[in-house]
C-alpha cells in the first residue's frame, strides 16, 4: 500500500501537471484563456491518477507504468514548449 | 473488477477515510454552519455600533496616511467597502514585501494573519484551517485531495451495485448492514455535492501552490506574472513615474458600478477596491463586486485611476473563461448562486456530509468488532474514542463558543478574544471525558451536552435580547435553528443511550452491567 501510495502521490502529481500543462500549450486558441480551467482540471486528474496506482497488479508495475507515462508526458511537454507559441512573456 | 483489486480499493477507501475523515467532519460541520455566516454574525453582535455614513471617506483618509508612511504601498493598495453584517470591517490592505492590514479603528497596521475573529469568522476559519494558523489551509487542501481519492475509490467499490444500494436501507439485527446502507445511500445521493467540495476545496486551499508548481514545471516562469490578470480585471500596470491626480475611492466605485451594469451584470454590489501604482499617470483602479443570477457572483471592473477610462471588464455576461471559472469555483463552494433555499440545501448536505464521515468511522468499528467477547480490540476502542472525542467533541465545542459569545456580549467583554480558546479547551475536555468515561457513555454525555447548550443558548439569547425580528429576522432564525439542532442532538443522545442499554453487549457501544 505504501509503495502504491507514493507512486500515486508523487508520480501522479508530476504526471497531472505535465498533462494539464501540455493541454494548455496545445490548446487551439490562445493558451492564456484556459489557464484557470486547466488548474481546475488538474485537481480531479491528480485524484484519478493517485487512484490509478491502486489498479495495477503490483506496486512495481504502478511505479514502472507511471514513470514511463511521466517520461512520455514531459518529453511531449518539452517539445510543445519549444515549438508552440506558449504563454506571452 | 477482479476480487483482489476490489479488496485493495476497499482498503484504500478505509485508509483515506480514516486519514481525512476527522478533519472533514469538522470542516463539514463548521462549513454547514458557515453557510449562514452573516446571520450568525448578526446574532453574535446584538448591539452593533452605529454605522457611520462617512466610512469610505475615513478609509480614504486612512489610505492617504498609509501611503504617506509606507510609500511602497502605492504599488498596490486597496480597501474593503462597507458591508451589511456587523463585524464586517472596513480596512485598508497593502502589499509591502508582505500583506498588511489596518482597520479604521486600528492605531497601527497588523499582519494579515493576525487573527482577531468574532464567533462567525472563527467558525468560518475553523472550517478551512481547523484553527491551525498559517499551515492549516494547506493541510485542508491536502485533506481535500485525500477526500477526492476516498470518493473515487468508494464509487468504484459500489459501482457494480450502485442502483440496488441506492434503494436499500435495511434496519434490523445486522447493525453493520444498516450503517453500510446508510453510508452508501448518503454517499451516493450527495455524490455531486461531494465531488464539488473535493475539487473546489482543494482549489481554494491550494490554488496559489498549484500555480507556482505549474509556473516552474510547465510554463517556464511565465504563469506567475499573469496570475493577477487571471483573477482581476486590470491589465498589468507599469508606472510611468509621472505623477497625476487620482479619482477618489467613492467616485471610482460609483463609476465601476455603472460600467458593470452597462455591461449586462444583474446588479453590482462592490465589496473591495484597489489602486495599482497609486499617484502615477498610468495608475489603475479595480473594483470587485457581486452580481446576481449567475453561478459565479464575483466580477470586477478596472478603470484608469486618472480619468476613469475603462481598462477591463470581467463581470457576469462579459467575462472570459478564466474569470468565469474562477468565480464559479467560489459560487459552487459557497452556494451563493441561489437564494435561501440553496443555502438551506447546502446546510443540510453539509450536515449529511459530516454524518457520512462519522458513519464511515462507525463502519470501521462495526466491521472489526469481536462478536463473542465484551472486550474489544485496542484499535476498535481507540477508533471509538477518537470518533466520539473529536467529532462529537467538536460539535459540543462549537456550541460552547456560541454560549461563550453570548456571555461575553452580555458582560461587555470582547468575544473575539475568547471564542478560539473556548473551542479548544472544550474540545480537549471532551476528549479527556471520552477517555475517562469510555465512548459509549461519553457519546451520550456529549450529545446531551450539545443539545442542552444549544437549547440553553437560544433561550438565554431571547431572554437577554428579546425575539430580535429586526434585520429580516436573521438572529431569530439562528435561535430557532439552535432549538432544531437541540432536538436533533437530543434524539441522537436518546438513541445512543438506548443502544448502550439494550443493544448487543459485545461492543464498544454497550455499557457494561
Chain B CB contacts of A77 under 8 Å are 218
Q: How many CB atoms lie within 10 A of CB A72?
A: 12
Rounded to the nearest angstrom, the minimum Cα separation between A34 and chain B is 6
Q: Which residue has the cell 460609483?
A: B254
Tell me the nearest-neighbour CA distance from B215 into chain A, angstroms. 10
Q: In whole angstroms, give the CA distance from residue B497 to residue B510.
A: 9
Q: Chain B contacts of A54, Cβ < 8 Å?
A: 5, 8-9, 12, 153
Secondary structure letter of residue A11 according to DSSP: I
- Please report how many Cα atoms fall inside a 13 Å half-sphere around the Cα of residue B452, on the Cβ side: 8
Of A1, A37, A43, the CB nearest to B11: A1
pLDDT of residue B159: 86
d(CA B210, CA B33): 29
- State the pTM of this model: 0.95
Strands B284-292 and B76-80: unpaired
Q: Which of B141, B195, B218 to mutate to test the interface with A (most CBs of A within 10 A)?
A: B218
Among A16, A4, A1, A2, smallest CA distance to A64 is for: A4
pLDDT in tens, A5-56: 999 999 999 999 999 999 999 999 999 999 999 999 999 999 999 999 999 9
| Contact yes or no for B93/B77 (Cβ under 8 A) | yes
The span from the CA of B236 to the CA of B47, in Å, is: 44
Q: Which residues of B248-271 are buried (b: 16+ CB within 10 A; e: fewer)?
A: ebeebbebbbebbeebebebbbbe
Inter-residue contact B123 to B33 (CB < 8 Å) = yes
* Stated length of chain A: 89
Q: How far apart are alpha carbons A53 and A3 in whole angstroms?
A: 9
How many Å lie between the alpha carbon of A87 and the closest alpha carbon of chain B? 6
Contact pairs from chain A to chain B, CB under 8 Å = 102
Please indicate whether, in this complex, the C-beta atoms of A50 and B145 are within 8 angstroms of each other: yes
The answer to whether residues B184 and B165 touch, using CB atoms and an 8 Å cutoff, is yes
Distance CA B226, CA B219 (A): 11
Q: Of A62, A79, A48, which Cα lies nearest the Cα of A6? A: A62
User: What are φ and ψ of residue B489, in 5° steps?
Assistant: -65, -35
Burial of B408 (0-12, 13-18, 19+ CB in 10 A): buried
CA gyration radius for chain B? 26
3-state secondary structure of B311: strand
Question: Model ipTM?
Answer: 0.97
| pLDDT at position B113 | 65
Measure the CA–CA gap between B272 and B294, rounded to whole angstroms: 19
Alpha-carbon distance of A31 to B489, in angstroms, equals: 52
Cα-Cα-Cα-Cα torsion B202, B203, B208, B210, nearest 10 degrees, comes to: 80
CB atoms inside a 10 Å sphere around CB B19: 16
pLDDT in tens, chain B (513 residues): 789 999 999 999 999 999 999 999 999 999 999 999 999 999 999 888 887 778 888 888 999 999 999 999 999 999 999 888 888 889 999 998 889 999 988 888 887 766 789 999 999 999 999 999 889 999 999 999 999 999 999 999 988 887 777 777 887 777 788 888 899 999 989 999 999 999 999 999 999 999 999 999 999 999 999 998 999 999 989 999 999 999 999 999 999 999 999 999 999 999 999 999 999 999 999 999 999 999 999 999 999 999 999 999 999 989 999 999 999 999 999 999 999 999 999 999 999 999 999 999 999 999 998 988 888 999 999 999 999 999 999 999 999 999 999 999 999 889 999 999 999 999 999 999 999 999 999 999 999 999 999 999 999 999 999 999 988 899 999 999 999 999 999 999 999 999 899 888 889 998 864
pLDDT at B418: 94
> Across the interface, which of A42, A51, A81 has its CB nearest the CB of B149?
A51
Amino acid at each position: 500500500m505504501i509503495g502504491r501510495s507514493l507512486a500515486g502521490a508523487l508520480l501522479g502529481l508530476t504526471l497531472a501537471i505535465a498533462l494539464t500543462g501540455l493541454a494548455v500549450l496545445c490548446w487551439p486558441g490562445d493558451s492564456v484563456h484556459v489557464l484557470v480551467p486547466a488548474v481546475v482540471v488538474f485537481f480531479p486528474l491528480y485524484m484519478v491518477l493517485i487512484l490509478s496506482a491502486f489498479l495495477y497488479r503490483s506496486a512495481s508495475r504502478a511505479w514502472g507504468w507511471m514513470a514511463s507515462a511521466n517520461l512520455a508526458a514531459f518529453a511531449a511537454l518539452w517539445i510543445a514548449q519549444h515549438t508552440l507559441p506558449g504563454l506571452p512573456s | 473488477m477482479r476480487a483482489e483489486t476490489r479488496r485493495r480499493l476497499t482498503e484504500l477507501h478505509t485508509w483515506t477515510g480514516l486519514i481525512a475523515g476527522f478533519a472533514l467532519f469538522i470542516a463539514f460541520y463548521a462549513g454547514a454552519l458557515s453557510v449562514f455566516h452573516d446571520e450568525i454574525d448578526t446574532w453574535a453582535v446584538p448591539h452593533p455600533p452605529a454605522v457611520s455614513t462617512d466610512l469610505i471617506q475615513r478609509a480614504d483618509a486612512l489610505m492617504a496616511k498609509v501611503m504617506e508612511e509606507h510609500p511602497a504601498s502605492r504599488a498596490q493598495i486597496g480597501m474593503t467597502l462597507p458591508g451589511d453584517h456587523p463585524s464586517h470591517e472596513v480596512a485598508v490592505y497593502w502589499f509591502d514585501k508582505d500583506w498588511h492590514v489596518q482597520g479604521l479603528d486600528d492605531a497601527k497596521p497588523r499582519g494579515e494573519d493576525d487573527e482577531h475573529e468574532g464567533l462567525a469568522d472563527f467558525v468560518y476559519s475553523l472550517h478551512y484551517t481547523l484553527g491551525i494558523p498559517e499551515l492549516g489551509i494547506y493541510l485542508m487542501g491536502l485533506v481535500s485531495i485525500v477526500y477526492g481519492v476516498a470518493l473515487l475509490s468508494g464509487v468504484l467499490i459500489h459501482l457494480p451495485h450502485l442502483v440496488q444500494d441506492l434503494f436499500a436501507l435495511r434496519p434490523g439485527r445486522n447493525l453493520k448492514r444498516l450503517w453500510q446502507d446508510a453510508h452508501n445511500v448518503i454517499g451516493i445521493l450527495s455524490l455531486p455535492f461531494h465531488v464539488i467540495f473535493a475539487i473546489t476545496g482543494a482549489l481554494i486551499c491550494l490554488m496559489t501552490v498549484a500555480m507556482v508548481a505549474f509556473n516552474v514545471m510547465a510554463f517556464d516562469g511565465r504563469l506567475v506574472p499573469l496570475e493577477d490578470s487571471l483573477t482581476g480585471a486590470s491589465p498589468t500596470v507599469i508606472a510611468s513615474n509621472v505623477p497625476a491626480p487620482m479619482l477618489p475611492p467613492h467616485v471610482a466605485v460609483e463609476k465601476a458600478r455603472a460600467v458593470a451594469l452597462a455591461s449586462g451584470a444583474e446588479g453590482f454590489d462592490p465589496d473591495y477596491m484597489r489602486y495599482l501604482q497609486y499617484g502615477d499617470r498610468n495608475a489603475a483602479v479595480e473594483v470587485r463586486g457581486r452580481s446576481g443570477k449567475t453561478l459565479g457572483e464575483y466580477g470586477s471592473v478596472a478603470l484608469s485611476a486618472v480619468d476613469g477610462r475603462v481598462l477591463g471588464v470581467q463581470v457576469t455576461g462579459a467575462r472570459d473563461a478564466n474569470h468565469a471559472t474562477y468565480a464559479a469555483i467560489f459560487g459552487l463552494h459557497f452556494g451563493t448562486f441561489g437564494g435561501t433555499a440553496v443555502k438551506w440545501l447546502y446546510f443540510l448536505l453539509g450536515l449529511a456530509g459530516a454524518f457520512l464521515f462519522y458513519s464511515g468511522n462507525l463502519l470501521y468499528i462495526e466491521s472489526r468488532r469481536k462478536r463473542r467477547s465484551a472486550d474489544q480490540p485496542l484499535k476498535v476502542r481507540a477508533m471509538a474514542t477518537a470518533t466520539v472525542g473529536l467529532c462529537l467533541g467538536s460539535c459540543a465545542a462549537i456550541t460552547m463558543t456560541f454560549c461563550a459569545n453570548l456571555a461575553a456580549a452580555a458582560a461587555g467583554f470582547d468575544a473575539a478574544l475568547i471564542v478560539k480558546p473556548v473551542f479548544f479547551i472544550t474540545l480537549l475536555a471532551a476528549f479527556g471525558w471520552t477517555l475517562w468515561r469510555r465512548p459509549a457513555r461519553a457519546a451520550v454525555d456529549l450529545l446531551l451536552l450539545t443539545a442542552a447548550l444549544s437549547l440553553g443558548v437560544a433561550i438565554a439569547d431571547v431572554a437577554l435580547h428579546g425575539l430580535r425580528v429586526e434585520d429580516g429576522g436573521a438572529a431569530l432564525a439562528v435561535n430557532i435553528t439552535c432549538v432544531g439542532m437541540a432536538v436533533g442532538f437530543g434524539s441522537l443522545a436518546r438513541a445512543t443511550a438506548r443502544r448502550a442499554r439494550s443493544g448487543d453487549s459485545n461492543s464498544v457501544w454497550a455499557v457494561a452491567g
